[in-house]
Every structure is written in structure tokens, then in C-alpha cells.
Chains A and B, each alone.
Chain A
Amino acid sequence: MSIVIDEPLADAEEIRAAMEFYADQEWTDGLPVVPVTDSYLNKFLATTKRDPEEVLFAVPHLNRECTVRLAAINAAMAGCRPEYFPVVIAAWDAIAKEPYPKRGIWQSTTGTAPLLIVNGPVRARIGLNSQGNVFGSGFRANATIGRAMRLTSINVFGLQPHQLDQATQGTLAKYSACIAENEEESPWAPLHAEYGFDPADSAVTALVIRSCMHIEARHTRVPEQLALDLANTIRRTGALIHETSSALVVLGPEHAQVFAEAGWGKDDVRQAIYDRAVNSRADLVAVGKEAISRHTRWRVPADHPDAIPDRASQGDAPDRVPALVSPNAILLAVAGARNAGVSTVIETFGVRGDTPSSIARVQEIGG
């Protein structure tokens, strides 16, 4: 049986001409963008009570600021539907609270990207994926809300690669990085509730990320083994540019269940990972990262002219070097399908022991 679709007619030549115009202006991440005019922009602005000229995020040293209007134009270009826009605004509100973006991290050779985690009822309303293939493609809300951040960075802040964006290699997350938490299959309170929000509210948490590494542990129901597998990835010496690291652990629902069945709460998981995310002094000597620079506090070998001892070497156990400052340097979320023992460790910038402040409520009209 064949399905007959009544395909609409279009002037494809004109659509292509508009896309080529954006490409010629370099107003793109490399992929085609959606043409935006005032009448389409107004549909986005109608989803929020915020003033179109309100500044959502400013980078004074780049002499640029992102207003609600500019965020809307770029979200529309990224392919967002108008009803996604309150999530995009909350994402900028969250990014504005992050310490690193306003300090130039998006220009850095390190090559970071913003990652958004969405919680609350808005997920279902706009079709954000929190389940299988959560970091993958195929879901318009995830794909385009994440992309809206990138297009805005390029267009509003001038962060074009090879120009103000000097990433040595960058990260695949630069195209788009937006996930929703799988609250329904998490044994714990959702991420935004952990940080004081009403679970009935929606919120966006913004992080600055570089590497995403997946953890295969399908064999175990022993929480200590799983915590060690996660910790071994977090403590890797290659991640250590600074004295310590920090991480978002996105547990697959099965892994979250392993911990929950042992009676562990989120704090127990954090503590167990923190206790095990430790390098030996010899591990660090072997890669020339046993000391830190007195200027930048980046890790350097002990014979470097700027070298001073790291904090661990001044404590009771100098040969045991924790990769994390405290259990709070770990952020925990649950996402993905409940079909295998798979999780992801994402290295983050800017959460090194403090409670993350980069979380903002999604304000929907009538919501």
C-alpha cells in the first residue's frame, strides 16, 4: 500500500537564494539556516513578556551584547519553533550566570561549547528528547535549541572559527548540545529540584563543556565498581590543565538504578566518585603535571621556572592527588534509554566545588 502525500508547492530557487545570502554573509555554522523576517520574528517575541531590547548576555570585552530580539532572530535561523523560545531565553539567562563565558572561554584554544540540560514539564510540551540517543540527532527541539546558542555566538558575539574563536580543535558539541533530563526514569529528584526549583517549574542548566566520554559497565550491580569506573575516567591526567577537574556525570537510567538499589542518594554517588577520582603522585610525575604554575595555576612539571607545589602535596597525603576539589565538583543527571549499562562523563569548566549557579527558570506565558 502506498501513502499519498500532497506535497506543497514552493519556489525552491528563492528559498535557496535566501540560504545562499546567509552563507555569503557568514551568518551560519556551515549548515543552511532558516530565513527570518519581521513577521516570523514577531511569533518568537510573542512567546515571552521580556522586552525585545533587554540584554540577555553581554561580553563587554568583545563590545557585543545579545538582546532578546537578537536571540530570537538566531533561534529562528537555527530552526527553532516559536514555542521553543522561552527555553532559549532561559538558556541565555543561565549562561549569563556562568563564570567562564563572560571571561572569554569561547575564544579559548581549549575549544569548549555550551551544554544545556532542560528539566520540567516544558520537555514534553516541546518534544525534547531525554531518552534513547539523548546526545544524538533526530529531535528538532534538542537540535535547534542547542544550535541557537552556536549561531548566536557566531553572529552576535563575532565568535567565528579562525577569528575570535581560536579553538585548537573544538568539540563536536559546538554544532548543538541540548539534552533533557529523564526525570521519569530517574530514582532521584530532578536536577532543577536539587537546586531549589519547584519540580513543576521548568529550568535550563548551562555548562561549559569539552570532552564527552562514554562509560561501558553492563556487567555490574556493585555500586562501588561502577563509581570506580566513572572515577577512573574523571581523573584522567589528559584532562588536567588546571590543578583539578570537574565533571557532569550523565547516568543512564540503568546505572542510576544500580546506585539507587544500593540505597545511595545523589550525595552518596558524588562522594563515592570523589573518593576514587585520585591520581598517585607518580601518575602525575610521569606526565609532567606534578606541580602548578604560580602565575596561571595550570599544571606544570616541578622543574618548571614558575612551578609551585600543588595543594595535595602540602597536605597529609602528598602522594595522593585528588582530581576533584570536592564532591560538589560533580554534577549528576539521568538521561538516555533504560536498555543498557551505559553512562557518559562530560568534562566541565567552571564547576570546581561550588554549587552551580548557572540554572534559570523557563518563563512561559500562561505557564
Chain B
Amino acid sequence: MTVREKLLNPTGADRKTGGSSLAPRPASLRGLTIGLLGNTKPNAEVLLAEFAGELKARYDVGEFRSYTKDYFGTPVKPDLFQQIAADCDLVITAVGDCGSCSAATVADGIMFERAGVPAVSIVSDSFLLSARAMARVQNFPGFEFIAVHHPVASLGLTELRYRVQDVLPDVLRIIGAEA
């Protein structure tokens, strides 16, 4: 046998292509509705409430609305996604502190950006590579997310507040607000 043939690529093609542009950022947070999407992981709600408190103290935010995913390992279900995208001007989602939920938290953020809603995804920095890999398979390699210092699940309120303070400037930068 001397027939020479190309070696075949064994990787999966993209099922769908989506845009990789960020949603337009608001000129100001004044009067905006901000969605807080928790994923049931320990401390997710507390962390989101802390971010909400910091934003409220700095800006004249309209209101905060809380939502909870029914399963942390996969992206938010279509019905809830539509509701949040319709109700909110901006979304913060937390917390990606496990193998599947770190990636899912980033996938959620990308879905909101593609729907025109600016989003901040919060993951633990132990799962930075998983979160980046998800952005890659979603064809949105430039998606920027927040990696807080691991761990999150086992922290008390004081330690959680330190985590929030550490990353607050980046959160404000991602949503386009001036610190």
C-alpha cells in the first residue's frame, strides 16, 4: 500500500455559531433593573446580595431581581433565560465553583451577552481553565468573567465581603460603570 491520504480531524464541529460581540454597555446604571442569577451552590445568593449592596451604595440602580437556576451543572433553561433577558438590563450570575457549574456560569453569561444583556459571570479561580475552555467551545474566547479566589462555598460573611471587595473594580469595568 502506497496510497497517501490525509489524516482525519477527530474533533467536534461547532453545532451553531453565535456572535462574539459583547452587548452594548449602558451609559449609566441609573434606574436600571439588575438580575441576580444564583445557581443553588452554597454562598451563591449571599455573594450576589453583597454585589447588589455594593452597586446600590454607589449608583442609583432601579431595582434588583433575584432568580435561581434549577440545576447548577448546565446553562439556565430557556424559559427562565427569556424571562431574565426580558426583565433585566444587566445580569450578574454566580457561582461557578465546581467542574460543570464553572463552565455553565460562563455559558450563561455568553448567552445573555448574545441576547444583548451585559453579564458578569462569577467563578472561583480554581476553575479558571474550565471557564476559559467553555468560552472557547462557545466561540466567544474573549468573554471576560470574574474569578474570585477559591474557595467560596465554605466562607463566612466577612471573608465573602473581602472576596467581593477584591473583584469589585473588575465587575464595574465589565459592566461599563465608572468606579
- Taking Cβ atoms with an 8 Å cutoff, the residues of A that contact B are 18, 21-22, 27, 35-39, 41, 58, 60-66, 70, 73-74, 77, 102-105, 107-110, 151-152, 155-158, 160, 162-167, 293, 295-296, 306
Q: Which of A37, A62, A103, A162 has its CB near the most chain B CB atoms (within 10 A)?
A: A62
The interface residues of chain A, by DSSP majority, are classed as mixed
How many Å lie between the Cα of A77 and that of B10 in the bound state? 9
How many Å lie between the Cα of A102 and that of B73 in the bound state? 10
Q: How far is the CB of A105 from chain B (nearest CB, A)?
A: 7
B1-20 CB contacts (< 8 Å) to partner A = 3, 5-12, 14-16
Q: Report if B28 contacts A (CB, 8 A).
A: no
- B7 surroundings in chain A (CB, below 8 A): 18, 21-22, 35-37
Beyond the given pairs A36-B7, A63-B15, A157-B12, 17 more chain A to chain B contacts, judged by CB atoms under 8 angstroms and listed by A's residue number, are A38-B8, A41-B8, A63-B14, A73-B10, A77-B10, A102-B74, A103-B71, A104-B99, A104-B101, A104-B104, A109-B99, A155-B12, A156-B10, A158-B11, A163-B129, A164-B134, A295-B40
Set B6, B130, B138, B139: member contacting A163, Cβ < 8 A: B130
Known contacts A36-B8, A74-B10, A164-B134; is-contact A107 B107 (Cβ 8 Å)? no
B123-178 CB contacts (< 8 Å) to partner A = 127, 129-130, 132-134, 136-139
- A166 surroundings in chain B (CB, below 8 A): 98-100, 102, 127, 129-130
10 smallest A-B Cβ distances: which pairs? A166-B99, A104-B100, A37-B5, A104-B73, A163-B133, A156-B12, A64-B12, A295-B40, A107-B100, A155-B10
Tell me the count of chain B residues lying within 8 A, CB to CB, of chain A. 38
Q: How far is the CB of A171 from chain B (nearest CB, A)?
A: 14
- B8 surroundings in chain A (CB, below 8 A): 36-38, 41, 73
Known contacts A61-B75, A164-B133, A164-B134; is-contact A39 B3 (Cβ 8 Å)? yes
What residue of chain A has the Cβ atom nearest to residue B42's Cβ? Answer: A306
- B6 surroundings in chain A (CB, below 8 A): 37-38
Known contacts A61-B104, A104-B74; is-contact A27 B134 (Cβ 8 Å)? no
Are A158 and B74 within 8 A (Cβ)?
no
Q: How far is the CB of A226 from chain B (nearest CB, A)?
A: 36
